[in-house]
Amino acid sequence: MISQKLLDARRFEEDTGNRIAAYARPGFHLTPWTGWMNDPNGFCFFQGQYHLFYQYYPFKSRWDNMYWGHAVSNDLLHWEYRPAALAPDRYYDQDGVFSGSSMELPDGRLLLMYTGVRLDGQAERPYGEIQTQCLAVGDGIDFEKYEKNPVLNENALPAGGSRRDFRDPKMIRLKDGRYAAILANRPADGSSQILLYTSIDGFSWKYETVLVENRNRFGKMWECPDFFELDGKQVLLVSPQDMLPEGFEYHSGNGTLCLIGSYDEEHFDFREENNQAVDYGIDFYAPQTILTPDGRRVMIGWMQNWDACAIREPEAPWAGQMSLPRELHIRDGRLYQQPIREFDALRHDKIEYTNVEVGEEKLYLEGVSGRMVDMEVRVRPKNPDVSYSKFVIRFAEEGETCTSIRFRPRESTLKIDRKFSGTRRAILHQRRCFVEDAQNELRIRIILDRYSCEIFIDGGRKVMTSALYTDQSAEKISFRADGEVVMDITKYSIQ
């Protein structure tokens, strides 16, 4: 039975969402049908199509009582909206249908596992919130909540685990055919731990072990875990809250973390080897991955950050975007990301320049402009023995308005800066990242959509992602250097 609450949301999103003009949305990034979006949820390939659900509040462009929105796609780039999948319509999830994942059952139905949130009626108590894990089963459009919900509650927590921070189940399939779910939880030390549960049928779940402990190393509470094998290694992705920076590696606030290691699945024994940030820009959080039918590990993240939400005015018809889908690999112990190859089919009107000299004078190149662009830039000193001090690309530029990326070879840092992007809010607008071995040649690929930029550095070794809400009339791209620089450019328009 579909509840009145879900029906109301479905009617509302169809009425208002269809009235948002296509040009008022990104060209190739998913936005909510209407209203607010945060984390990707339930990302899967089901019955011949990709399904992406998302944290959703349809009625306003701000976070509120969470629903699950839904969209489907054949290529992960062109999305079609489907009716909202879940509403906060039961006593155990009345204060939010939080993040979760999906899994196809042997009988061909789709199983969703999500966190149900309930305030226990005593709002003055700071720990009055209760988070439990709940199930819903459906045909890919309509989902029925399981009559035995919640399937995991505080009784399934190890000693000291908080029932208030117990969320974001990611289901995975074990090699022996069983299901597993990993979850984020806050233990007595106030930071976080990843818990692992197993199930034979997907409906009845059993606590197994603590898979990884944060022990206050990377931020406090971790959110939205994902766990998978990649190129012979095992990867844990989480989004920690309350990060402290460590040099260039972890910026403060809400961050992203990738732990790379080895895994003995039989004993649920994960051994960490390396750690790094997933994204070094401003807006990337809570990513989720899938294995595509042809075996690629593809990740999508929320292209926004909790600390910088104020960049979008509350009157806007939608708020929140998903990142480009990125294919993941491990190379030399690091996570590499590249836009999925389906994206190449969207490119047209190739323009190439080689050995262009760039100096103090701002340089504009014929055909190099626009807000839906894929541009590869290679930069080197004109004379290999004489370094330069700065190289700057400005895009979404008009007059004083622009977003810039600036490379300083002596520090080997790349900085993104959107404080002149038209924003009127004193929020986070800059971020720097360390780029290895770029003094002789810096290689970056910049993908611009109407409201974002994603910068893939050195073949995807590092990525910097930021949302920007600059007026669409600002579409110039310029180049400048302090010192003498030579660059090659390959640029495409998108769609």
Which residues of the chain form contacts with ligand FRU (CB under 6 A)? 38-39, 55, 66, 98-99, 115, 167-168, 223-224, 285-286
CB of 62 to ligand FRU, least distance (A): 12
Q: Which is nearer to ligand FRU, 38 or 193 (CB)?
A: 38
Q: How far is the CB of 167 from ligand FRU (least distance, A)?
A: 5
Chain centroid to CA 71: 16
Rg (CA), the chain: 23
| Structural contact between residues 490 and 345, judged by C-beta atoms closer than 8 angstroms | no
Of 170 and 461, nearer to ligand FRU (C-beta) is 170
Instruction: Report how far apart, in Å, the C-alpha atoms of 228 and of each of 235, 270, 290 are.
Output: 5, 11, 9
Q: Copy the structure tokens of residue 300.
A: 């999508």
Nearer of residues 192 and 337 to ligand FRU, judged by Cβ:
192
Q: Which is catalytic among the residues 39, 95, 165, 417?
A: 39
Q: Smallest distance, Å, CB 49 to ligand FRU?
A: 24
Three-state secondary-structure class, residue 368: coil
| Strand ranges (E), 292-346 | 297-302, 318-319, 326-331, 334-339
Q: How far apart are CA 477 and CA 354, in angstroms?
A: 17
In the complex, the smallest distance separating the C-beta of residue 54 from ligand FRU, rounded to whole angstroms, is: 10
**80 - beta bridge partners?**
72
Looking at the DSSP bridge assignments, the partners of residue 250 are: none
Instruction: Rank residues 157 and 330 by Cβ distance to ligand FRU and give the closer one.
Output: 157
Residue 239 contacts residue 223 (beta carbons within 8 Å): yes
What is the C-alpha to C-alpha distance for residues 113 and 339, in angstroms, rounded to an integer? 28
As measured in angstroms, the least distance from the Cβ of 72 to ligand FRU is 21
Q: Which of 474, 324, 453, 302 is nearest to 377 (CA)?
A: 453
Across 241-385, the runs of DSSP E, i.e. the strands, are 257-264, 269-276, 285-291, 297-302, 318-319, 326-331, 334-339, 347-358, 373-381
Element (H, E) at 103: strand 97-104
**Choice between 248 and 285, CB closer to ligand FRU:** 285
Q: Which residues make Cβ contacts (< 8 Å) with residue 325, sequence separation at least 6?
A: 76, 77, 298, 299, 300, 339, 340, 342, 343
Residue by residue, DSSP assigns 108-145 as SPEEEEEEEEEE-S-TTSTT-EEEEEEEEEESSS-EEE
* Residue 63 vs 146, nearer CB to ligand FRU: 63
| Closer residue to ligand FRU in complex, CB, 37/414 | 37
In angstroms, the CA 223 to CA 320 distance is 18
Cβ 113 to ligand FRU shortest distance, Å: 12
39 belongs to the catalytic site? yes
CB of 255 to ligand FRU, least distance (A): 12
Q: Is 324 exposed, middle or buried (0-12, 13-18, 19+ CB in 10 A)?
A: buried
**Between 100 and 325, CB nearer to ligand FRU:** 100
CB of 63 to ligand FRU, least distance (A): 6
Catalytically annotated residues: 39
